[in-house]
């Protein structure tokens, strides 16, 4: 069944109320045609999460000079992997709950229809290249944990300490924040010690907690951040990370003039996760999926939710059956909403962004929410000869991590059960 734009708008109550749907079209002078929604349709083209923006020139030049599509995408994601200041990927990634950085990555090479993936890898910075090595140097598709690390070393990757001082201090702050019930943080003799009962908001329902988190916790946490040696200009960002353990990742898809297409995704995953947790990023079909006949898609955001809707694969299948990149992505987001029966009190604690590139060069960036907070909209970065970032088309109005206060549930969505019937 093909899904016309008209049907799509008609059947999507959320689509109708969300301020962002059509935002990309509006940016292009209110042209709401399918063409405008689907990007420029130029080839070659690379699309990626916005943290890859600074590395697009290099990847694009490589692609334009005849370089392989997967290698072009890998050049882009290697930038954030190598950057100690990007705390969502590679070196400097936020660690797991034990303070150990564990990375996930996968890739798909469209022209040869191959895939590679590594999950829960320690001590290896460029896991995207390790994923490619699984694809090219083994008969497997996925390696995890210690085996993946040993394989990467065998392939020439150095073992490195990936935990930067910056990420270590944020992790310690997170440990201490949760330490009214353990022995981390100031002890009984410390002037800053607080009795567990004095924990702000104790005994109150979750819904009443947010304003207090906004005041007392932020002040306490900021003081602790200072104690831990976090620089004043980074203290509030560290507090935010502790209150809302962030996700963060980079996906990149590249398409050349001949129509060959590939994609890859790499991440340090959810901050403070349980050791051994793999998110969507190393899962072929969730964090990334490329089909040479259709296109390529990838994801950043709440990995657990994306695995449950097999997001990237769902998007490719939607496009195979006639949806535009934007429609295909919005449909995958609606499946996430459906998994919570539209319960905004739960959905506001998760987020998801999809980066979608069709084989003809049409593209879309779609997100569940407008952004993490006001002024920080989700963006897709593009290079098709003109490097730029565009605001993603959002399904739901509002922000997943407003700080403080928590995002309000938009009035019109409070009774969104209608939509779910
Ligand atoms: N999806 C990644 C994960 O869940 C994190 C992210 O994209 O921010 O591991």
Q: Tell me whether residue 76 is in a domain.
A: yes
Given 164, 241, 247, 249, the catalytic residue: 249
- Per-residue pLDDT tens over the stretch 309-336: 999 999 999 999 999 999 999 999 999 9
Number of domains in the chain: 1
Please work out whether the CB of residue 401 comes within 6 Å of at least one atom of ligand 1. no
Please work out whether the CB of residue 59 comes within 6 Å of at least one atom of ligand 1. no
Cα 269 to ligand 1 centre (Å): 5
CA gap 239, 228 in Å, rounded: 12
Ligand 1 atom with the smallest distance to the CA of 304 is: 4
Q: Tell me whether residue 211 is in a domain.
A: no
Q: Tell me whether residue 264 is in a domain.
A: yes
pLDDT score of 27: 38
Q: Tell me whether residue 303 is in a domain.
A: yes
Closest protein CA for atom 7 of ligand 1? 300
- Per-residue pLDDT tens over the stretch 236-278: 777 777 777 666 799 999 999 999 999 999 999 998 999 999 9
Residue 191 banded pLDDT, cuts 50, 70, 90: confident
CA gap 34, 363 in Å, rounded: 11
Of all residues in the chain, what percent carry a pLDDT higher than 70? 78
Please work out whether the CB of residue 267 comes within 6 Å of at least one atom of ligand 1. yes
CA gap 221, 46 in Å, rounded: 40
Please work out whether the CB of residue 303 comes within 6 Å of at least one atom of ligand 1. yes
Q: Which of the residue ranges 26-40, 113-127, 294-308 would you say has the lowest mean pLDDT?
A: 26-40
Please work out whether the CB of residue 80 comes within 6 Å of at least one atom of ligand 1. no
Q: Tell me whether residue 136 is in a domain.
A: yes
Q: Tell me whether residue 230 is in a domain.
A: no
pLDDT score of 274: 94
Mutation test of ligand 1: which of 249, 266, 273 has the most ligand atoms closer than 8 Å to its C-beta? 249
Q: Tell me whether residue 194 is in a domain.
A: no
Is pLDDT at 11 greater than 80 in this prediction?
no
Residue 249 bears catalytic tag: yes
Question: For position 292, which CATH number holds?
Answer: 3.60.20.30
Print the domain residue range for 370: 5-162+246-394
């Amino acid at each position: 069944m093909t899904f016309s734009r008209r049907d799509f708008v008609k059947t999507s109550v959320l689509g109708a109320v969300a301020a962002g749907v059509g935002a990309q079209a509006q940016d292009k002078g209110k042209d709401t045609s399918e063409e405008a929604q689907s990007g420029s349709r130029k080839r070659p083209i690379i699309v990626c999460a916005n943290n890859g923006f600074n590395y697009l020139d290099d990847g694009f030049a490589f692609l334009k000079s005849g370089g392989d599509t997967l290698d072009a995408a890998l050049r882009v994601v290697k930038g954030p992997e190598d950057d100690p200041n990007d705390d969502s990927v590679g070196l400097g990634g936020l660690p797991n709950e034990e303070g150990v950085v564990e990375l996930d990555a996968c890739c798909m090479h469209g022209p040869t229809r191959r895939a590679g993936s590594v999950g829960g890898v320690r001590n290896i910075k460029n896991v995207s290249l390790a994923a490619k090595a699984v694809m090219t140097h083994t008969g497997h598709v996925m390696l995890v944990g210690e085996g993946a690390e040993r394989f990467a070393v065998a392939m020439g990757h150095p073992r490195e300490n990936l935990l930067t001082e910056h990420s270590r201090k944020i992790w310690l702050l997170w440990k201490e924040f949760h330490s009214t019930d353990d022995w981390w943080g100031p002890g009984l003799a410390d002037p800053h010690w607080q009795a567990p009962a004095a924990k702000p908001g104790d005994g109150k329902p979750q819904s009443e907690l947010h304003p207090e988190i906004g005041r007392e916790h932020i002040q306490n946490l900021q003081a602790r951040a200072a104690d831990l040696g976090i620089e004043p200009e980074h203290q509030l960002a560290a507090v935010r990370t502790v209150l809302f353990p962030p996700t963060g990742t980079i996906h990149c898809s590249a398409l050349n003039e001949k129509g060959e297409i590939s994609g890859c995704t790499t991440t340090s995953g959810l901050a403070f996760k349980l050791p051994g947790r793999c998110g969507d990023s190393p899962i072929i079909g969730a964090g990334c999926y490329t089909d040479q006949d259709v296109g390529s898609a990838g994801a950043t955001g709440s990995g657990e939710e994306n695995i449950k809707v097999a997001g990237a694969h769902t998007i490719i299948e939607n496009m195979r059956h006639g949806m535009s990149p934007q429609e295909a992505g919005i449909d995958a987001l609606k499946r996430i909403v459906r998994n919570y029966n539209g319960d905004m009190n739960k959905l506001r604690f998760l987020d998801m962004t999809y980066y979608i590139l069709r084989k003809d060069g049409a593209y879309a960036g779609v997100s569940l929410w407008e952004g993490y907070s006001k002024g920080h909209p989700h963006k897709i970065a593009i290079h098709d000869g003109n490097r730029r970032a565009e605001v993603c088309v959002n399904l739901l109005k509002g922000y997943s991590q407003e700080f403080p206060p928590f995002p309000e549930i938009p009035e019109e969505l409070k009774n969104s059960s209608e939509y779910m019937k």
